[in-house]
Structure 1
């Protein structure tokens, strides 16, 4: 059922092929936004787009490697060219490669920095020009509870997510004299594919054990929070949302 809170708006969601990204794309489409879907897995994006369209929404598939600066800038330009504008950017693409410092592969650190931070920063910069020209817009950046609290075994991921949180606040201050809003979303434990890619088996088992001991958040829980932030009146900027499962202690 499509409502009209975002009728006429265009939203671009990265990491839209699964999890929080896919749920967010559906939630924004339900509010009336035309949604550009970006990720590497084109087949999954096409399936998501078909579902949105069958529910009465509008969706554009934009296959993108968010670690490639040229592709990220082209992603933004294609969204504007095909859908006419860009009102909401949700930087959701990310990876969590947990390893102790002494045993970590520096290539995994670099991968997290390239995707979680650099890709997000480039997308924000590319979108910002369009939003400044039209005088409004929302940039929503996915950080994490790991962007507030450091954990043993999570140093590289912590560094990337602390970076997202810091970048987002600096950007918010830079555009505070306009109607461009910046929101940082900081999820705790969410039932997504993220943990499947953890290279360290001890860290992977620890995360899986933590998830088994509680009812984790669902991607739709985070999507509702993003929808809440971007549907506020123009003078209201939800700067940060830290969202944990009720039974998550840390």
Structure 2
């Protein structure tokens, strides 16, 4: 297994839920974590807690719908740390309404965060990673990329698209020894689920740390091995066969 000590990772949506769990797990493995989130106050809190536990982390206010801000942020991180080894495209949103109720602006916003942003972020880091013949991009998808349910047309479109994008990027990046992985995550005990569906039984959801541990496993594969896609779901999740 590869050692992650000294690597630098940028995690979007890193201040809450799965993103926070990823930041904590990677920091505990010796990674310097850039906690990127539109909520800078929450990002700072995560950084403070990671630092108090002996980890290395920095907060970055990042609106992933702002292309100029993304490009400036990537340049800043590379300039400060000299390298960026890992990009975790985790930020995601949903608007849970029927297609009749779904405003075009909300459709555009969901696609902007869930699909357009991973494209821009990946495009911003890929040349740097190819030049170094090293790097790993992880795209956090969902079981919503494998099946569908009502009142989530934009979310499904974005996550199906993200998996397709991830595999296409894997084909482009692989010859330059840059790895790309799509993580299909099932329901988790996070605000993303519980704020919208507070009656969801917790025993039907998984601890986000379990998914974060899986991501760490993916990142520690030897240089000659890549995992293009993995699915991690709760044992009792009712939305999956």
What TM-score bracket applies, with the shorter chain setting the length?
over 0.9
- The counterpart of 1:195, out of the listed 193, 196, 213, is 193
Check if 1:242 corresponds to 2:240.
no
**Which residue matches 2:205?**
216
Q: 1:213 Cα deviation (Å)? A: 7.2
- The counterpart of 1:100, out of the listed 94, 98, 101, is 98
Q: 1:243 Cα deviation (Å)? A: 1.3
- The counterpart of 1:81, out of the listed 79, 90, 100, is 79
Contact kept? 2:203, 2:236, Cα under 8 Å: yes
- Worse overlay, 223-232 or 101-110: 101-110
Contact kept? 1:17, 1:44, Cα under 8 Å: yes
SS in 2 for 1:149: coil
- Worse overlay, 172-181 or 159-168: 172-181
Q: Describe how 1:170-185 pairs up with structure 2 within 5 A.
A: 170-185=168-183
* TM-score, with length taken from structure 1: 0.90
**Which residue matches 1:90?**
88
Check if 1:114 corresponds to 2:103.
no
Contact kept? 2:189, 2:202, Cα under 8 Å: no
Q: 1:148 Cα deviation (Å)? A: 1.2
Distance (whole Å) between structure 1 residues aligned to residue 28 and residue 209 of structure 2: 13
**4+ residue runs of structure 1 moved beyond 3 angstroms?**
none
**Which residue matches 2:125?**
127
Distance (whole Å) between structure 2 residues aligned to residue 213 and residue 228 of structure 1: 25
Q: Give ranges in structure 1 of 5+ residues lacking alignment.
A: 198-203
Contact kept? 2:139, 2:162, Cα under 8 Å: yes
Distance (whole Å) between structure 1 residues aligned to residue 192 and residue 173 of structure 2: 31
SS in 2 for 1:190: coil
**Which residue matches 1:46?**
44
Distance (whole Å) between structure 1 residues aligned to residue 215 and residue 191 of structure 2: 19
Check if 1:7 corresponds to 2:5.
yes
Contact kept? 1:10, 1:86, Cα under 8 Å: yes
Distance (whole Å) between structure 2 residues aligned to residue 95 and residue 230 of structure 1: 25
**Which residue matches 2:154?**
156
Q: Give ranges in structure 2 of 5+ residues lacking alignment.
A: none
Q: 1:208 Cα deviation (Å)? A: 4.4
SS in 1 for 2:157: helix
**Which residue matches 2:220?**
231
Provide the aligned length of Structure 1 versus Structure 2. Answer: 238
Q: 1:178 Cα deviation (Å)? A: 2.3
